[in-house]
Amino acid sequence: MKLYEVRNGYTGESIVKCFIIAETEKRALELASESLREDSKWKYGKHIYDDEKHQYNEEYWTHLTIKCLCKDTSKEYKGDARDY
């Protein structure tokens, strides 16, 4: 399994991104898209009050960039310290 960082180009209080562990880059993009699509739904706290409407357009969960951070998650990994 590999560790990926997936970004969608949006910035809120910081850069919007997901960290995904998956076997392939394709699967990591699928999982990140699911996560970002869910995140874009209109909600109040944790309560989704309209499952069909989204705060952002479809690009929020489809226009993604991906970077492999670690090629083997069975070994130790130390990421760079960053301030986003």
Question: Tens digits of per-residue pLDDT, 16-27?
Answer: 999 999 999 999
Indicate the domain borders of the chain. Answer: 2-70
Q: What is the pLDDT of residue 73?
A: 95
Q: What is the pLDDT of residue 24?
A: 97
Which tokens is 58 given? 């479809």
Question: Tens digits of per-residue pLDDT, 41-51?
Answer: 766 555 555 55
Phi first, then psi: what are they for 76, rounded to 5°? -60, 150
Q: Buried b / exposed e across 28-60, counting CB within 10 Å, b at 16+? A: bbebbbeebeebbeeeeeeeeeeeeebeeeeeb
Question: Tens digits of per-residue pLDDT, 42-84?
Answer: 665 555 555 567 778 889 999 999 999 999 999 998 888 876 5
Which tokens is 83 given? 């301030």
